[in-house]
Amino acid sequence: MTRLVAVSNRVAQPTIESKSAGGLSIGVLSALKEHGGVWFGWNGKTTDGEPGDPKIEQVGNITYATIDLNAVSFDKFYNGFSNTSLWPICHYLLGFFRFDRREYEEYRHVNTLFANKLLPLLQPDDIIWVHDYHLIPLASELRLAGIKNPIGFFLHVPFPDIEVLRVLPVYTQLLRNLCAYDVIGFHTPGDLAAFNEAINQKEIGGIHKADRRNNSPDRHFRADVFPIGIDVDNCYKLASTARQSDNTKRMIHHLHDRNLIIGVDRLDYSKGLEERFRAIERLLQNYPENRGQVSYIQIAPKTRAGIRAYDDIRHTLEQATGEINGEFADIDWIPIRYLNRAFDRPTLMEFFHEASVGLVTPIRDGMNLVAKEFVASQDPDNPGVLVLSLLAGAASELTDAVLVNPYDIDGVANGIQVALTMPLNERKERHASMIEILRRNDITTWRTHFVDALMQARENLK
Among 5, 6, 11, 26, binds ligand ADQ (CB under 6 A): 26
Among 7, 27, 357, 447, binds ligand ADQ (CB under 6 A): 27
Which one from 182, 268, 365, 442 is the annotated catalytic residue? 365
Using CB under 6 A as the binding rule, whether residue 297 contacts ligand ADQ is answered as: no
Catalytic, 156? Answer yes
Q: Report the residue number, 282 or 364, with the smaller CB distance to ligand ADQ.
A: 364
Q: Distance between CA 6 and CA 385 in Å, rounded?
A: 35
Measured torsion, CA atoms of residues 105, 111, 116, 122, in degrees rounded to the nearest 10: -170
CA angle in degrees (0–180, nearest 5) for 26-70-4: 35
Among 6, 7, 65, 157, binds ligand ADQ (CB under 6 A): 157
Q: Distance between CA 309 and CA 88 in Å, rounded?
A: 11
Q: Name the minimum Å distance from CB 286 to ligand ADQ.
A: 28
Total residues contacting ligand ADQ by CB under 6 A comes to: 25
Which one from 35, 156, 187, 353 is the annotated catalytic residue? 156
Closest CA to 433 of 392, 396, 395, 397: 397
Q: Report the residue number, 14 or 292, with the smaller CB distance to ligand ADQ.
A: 14
Q: Name the minimum Å distance from CB 423 to ligand ADQ.
A: 29
Using CB under 6 A as the binding rule, whether residue 299 contacts ligand ADQ is answered as: yes
Among 2, 3, 14, 22, binds ligand ADQ (CB under 6 A): 22
In sequence order, the 6+-apart residues with CB closer than 8 A to the CB of 135 are 7, 8, 9, 111, 114, 153
Q: Which residues from 347-376 bind ligand ADQ, rule CB under 6 A?
A: 348, 365-370, 373
Among 9, 12, 23, 453, binds ligand ADQ (CB under 6 A): 23
Q: Of 118-126, 248-256, 262-270, 433-441, which part binds ligand ADQ (CB under 6 A)?
A: 262-270
Q: How far is CA 144 from CA 7, 115, 137, 207, in A?
A: 18, 10, 11, 19
Catalytic, 365? Answer yes
Q: Distance between CA 182 and CA 193 in Å, rounded?
A: 18
CB 264 within 8 A of CB 338: no
Q: Name the minimum Å distance from CB 351 to ligand ADQ.
A: 10
CB 92 within 8 A of CB 26: no
Three-state DSSP at 24 gives helix
Element (H, E) at 40: strand 37-47
End-to-end Cα spacing for the chain: 17
Q: Name the minimum Å distance from CB 314 to ligand ADQ.
A: 14
Among 5, 11, 12, 24, binds ligand ADQ (CB under 6 A): 24
Please report, as ranges, the residues that interact with ligand ADQ according to CB under 6 A.
19-20, 22-24, 26-27, 156-157, 228, 264-266, 299, 301, 342-343, 348, 365-370, 373
Catalytic residues: 156, 365
